[in-house]
Structure 1
Amino acid sequence: MHLMLTQCFPPKLGGIENMMGGLADAIAASGSELLVLADSEPDPSATPGYRIRRYRGFKPFRRWWKARAAERAIRREKVETVFADSWKSLERFRPPGCPVVCLAHGMEFPPQPSAAKAARIRAALAKATRVIANSRYTASLAAPYVDARRLSVVTPPIQPQPAADPAAIAGLTERFGPGPTVASLCRLEPRKGIDRLIEAMATRPALAGARLLIAGDGPDRTRLQEMARLSPAAADIHFLGRVDERDKAALLGFCDVFAMPSRREGASVEGFGIVYLEAGWYGKPSLGGSDGGASDAIRDGETGLICDGANREAVAAALERLLADADLRMRLGEAAASHARSQTWAQKLGDYLPSPPPNAMDLPAPAGL
């Protein structure tokens, strides 16, 4: 049996939630028994092939209760591996001898931690047999807190994506008409770089007549909508709000280019960007930012382009290059589809087991605190 300790788990929405849900599904699909100890309300519609126990209440108490429940389960049952979503889930846990795999995503490592916070992170990660970072960038953030021999990089897998519904694609064509289309799908916050896409729409000749379709919601939506309203290209910029899986597949099947030129905003930066792989599944090249881990999700010049997401001219030039060159889009899109289909949970589950894979990605030199 495997055991999972997690604060982030479906039905809550988010990248880490999707990651932990995908890992749980993959473990169950492999035929192994799994017990998940998770935060949040139960999902009455879920029928997973594993056990889930939910914990609510004040966060410190939740962590303590889950840790004690995990320890009891390990004493009563034969647990092969404990998986933790981050160091925070290990802080109250006292591992009784079985292997512990802890995932690292990026945002949980502050750029300038206090001495006390750094000590907490080190103490928690000392309990892990193996720490798996989602990108080389994230590994550089984790490196000061964990022995390099226990740290490796495994880029996140994706679930096989649903086929795009032809009727839904036809609906988008009818709604927005013909013409080159740039799509973005994310939580709307400054670091995602949607403002740079809006600015680019009015500054580059190759973007004249193109459409920018922005799916998702978030705290930056009001500012972005005002930017779009004032843009000379306002008629070609559309906010779609939150989309379900059917509409997401249709959007990625419909667009010509997926763009999320993320950048650093204070301590906030993209740790990886699974949505780039999801776009690649549909044969679409991506444009990502050079800050953070997008360069591990997008192979620059092979499955998409990487640019300086903080530089408006760099974003506009890269977007223009993609839209102006149909042969380039086709070449990148074909490679993106091939790469995405090699990154499924069924193919990569073994990379998350306690022994690191022999071809683990090279790690960056540890950064000092």
Structure 2
Amino acid sequence: MSSDERRSPLRVALISSSFAPHVGGVETHVAQVATALHDRGHAVEVWTVDRGMWSARAFPVPVRYLPTPLPARSLDGLFRTVWSVPRAWREWRRTYARFRPDVLSVQCFGPNGVYAAALQRAFTTPLVVSSHGETLGDDNGVYARSALLRRSLRAALAQSSAVTAPSTYVLDDLRARFGLADGVVVPNGVDLSLGTADPDAPRQGLVLAIGRLGRMKGFDLLIDAFALAALEGVRLEIIGDGPERVSLQQQIVSLGLVESVTLVGEKDATAVAQRIGDAAAVVVPSRSESFGIVALEAWRGGAALIMTSRGGATDFIRDGEDALLVDPEDTAALAATLTSVMADEPLRSRIAAAGAQRVGEYGWSRVALDYEELFTRVRSDAGP
């Protein structure tokens, strides 16, 4: 590829399963990549599923909330989709015609991916599918229930010009269950503009966990382990909101942890970064984690990282050096790891310092560059 090809601006549609005002890993990923590609001189739009909520905050690229009805099994649902699918398809075609992207980049394959794949077939624009672990870590079991989505993902992988995932864990699942022939890892990133905290600064007796309060995130496992560890003078805060909030609060009460465990609710990115800067440790106790942006946030915040072994962590974490890997479903092992980190300050400090040294490798500019090179290649392969 020539230097002129690398510099030639791209027109990229980032077609996301979800976006602001919703909060989560894919929403963060798409927002950061869109901004970074825009800052690098590319024309970018975000096309996302219309869930009846729209963000009012300013964003550097256009965001289009598009209808994505799919055929339903029920008779009533069938009647609705007979009318709504053609109408939605016309809206997708109009959006395509206004922007004329060089690349259709699906971010987290759901109904958005079904419509993006249809656009590829209609206009032969290169399709890039980026899976974010949606086939592995879905609390709602959408892929287990929907044969249409399973068939559509398999077909989209076959017709795509490239496939990415944040870890080999996700790529291996796509190979095993959805017929993927080849794919590349494009990792997640972290916002380095918020600054990095000194890992040697004094820390509170505070353990943090951050994320959507859903079953896959494993916060119930962490609460059980925290109760077993019985760490004197240590508090646990869980930042986030979601469908498991009531059951988690009931669990806290039943274990007698009301004074030491708090469900904080949602906080913005700056507030989360500040709180990590206070914490001694951050725990990611997920039952399945395709990558885990929170791990990078812990490194940026100078906290010691305790990370689930169930997922893609081994791609980027060096166990015993910059984090401690543990199976969160092994309550005794997780409790012992919490005790080790909070009782052994030299261990805690060493792990935190090693993570802080590595976080600079994972800025969003690096992630955007990986996409830029991939998108440029598939555009070039597609020809004029």
The answer, yes or no, to whether TM exceeds 0.5 is yes
The equivalent of 2:216 in structure 1 is 191
CA distance in 1, matches of 2:332, 2:26: 32
Show CA shifts across 1:270-319 (max 9, x none): 22211111111111121122222243454321221111111110110111
Residue 99 (1) aligns with residue 132 (2): no
Which consecutive residues of structure 2, in runs of 5 or more, have no partner in the other structure? 1-10, 71-83, 137-141, 377-384
Moved more, 178-187 or 343-352: 178-187
CA distance in 1, matches of 2:258, 2:370: 46
Show CA shifts across 1:62-99 (max 9, x none): 8634542355257xx4x432211134333232323443
Contact 1:154 1:351 in 2 (8 A): yes
CA distance in 1, matches of 2:270, 2:244: 25
Deviation at 1:30, TM superposition (A): 0.5
* Equivalences for residues 313-352 of structure 1 within 5 A: 313-352=332-371
Moved more, 182-191 or 93-102: 93-102
Change (3 A) 1:4 1:217: closer
Contact 1:201 1:208 in 2 (8 A): no
Change (3 A) 1:4 1:239: closer
Change (3 A) 1:90 1:262: closer
* Equivalences for residues 128-143 of structure 1 within 5 A: 128-143=160-175
The equivalent of 1:52 in structure 2 is 63
CA distance in 1, matches of 2:128, 2:321: 32
Residue 274 (1) aligns with residue 268 (2): no
* Equivalences for residues 19-38 of structure 1 within 5 A: 19-38=29-48
Contact 1:283 1:334 in 2 (8 A): yes
Q: Secondary structure at the match of 1:17?
A: helix
Change (3 A) 1:202 1:91: closer
Residue 289 (1) aligns with residue 334 (2): no
Deviation at 1:2, TM superposition (A): 1.9
Deviation at 1:333, TM superposition (A): 1.1
Contact 2:208 2:238 in 1 (8 A): yes
Q: Tell me how many residue pairs correspond in the alignment.
A: 336
Provide the identity percentage. Answer: 29
CA distance in 2, matches of 1:336, 1:65: 48
Residue 225 (1) aligns with residue 257 (2): no
The equivalent of 1:84 in structure 2 is 106
Contact 2:191 2:364 in 1 (8 A): yes
Contact 2:170 2:290 in 1 (8 A): yes
CA distance in 1, matches of 2:135, 2:257: 38
CA distance in 2, matches of 1:52, 1:348: 20
| Corresponding letter in the other structure for 2:57 | S
Change (3 A) 1:164 1:241: farther
Contact 2:208 2:283 in 1 (8 A): yes
Contact 1:38 1:52 in 2 (8 A): yes
Q: Secondary structure at the match of 2:263?
A: strand
Question: Scaled by the length of structure 1, what TM-score is found?
Answer: 0.80
CA distance in 2, matches of 1:164, 1:153: 25
Residue 248 (1) aligns with residue 248 (2): no
Change (3 A) 1:163 1:312: same
1:7 pairs, out of 7, 17, 21, with 17
Between structures 1 and 2, the one with greater helix share: 2
Residue 204 (1) aligns with residue 215 (2): no
Change (3 A) 1:67 1:104: same
Change (3 A) 1:9 1:203: closer
CA distance in 1, matches of 2:338, 2:363: 28
Deviation at 1:193, TM superposition (A): 2.4
Q: Secondary structure at the match of 1:94?
A: helix
| Corresponding letter in the other structure for 1:255 | A
Question: Scaled by the length of structure 2, what TM-score is found?
Answer: 0.78
Change (3 A) 1:85 1:111: closer
Q: Secondary structure at the match of 2:194?
A: coil
Q: Secondary structure at the match of 1:320?
A: helix
Show CA shifts across 1:31-78 (max 9, x none): 111233233354333141x3333324746738634542355257xx4x
Deviation at 1:220, TM superposition (A): 1.7
CA distance in 2, matches of 1:229, 1:212: 14
Change (3 A) 1:5 1:192: closer
RMSD: 3.0
Which consecutive residues of structure 1, in runs of 5 or more, have no partner in the other structure? 166-172, 264-268, 358-369
Contact 1:91 1:123 in 2 (8 A): no
Contact 2:165 2:171 in 1 (8 A): yes
1:162 pairs, out of 194, 198, 203, with 194
Change (3 A) 1:202 1:51: closer
Moved more, 121-130 or 52-61: 52-61
Deviation at 1:331, TM superposition (A): 1.6
CA distance in 2, matches of 1:63, 1:138: 30
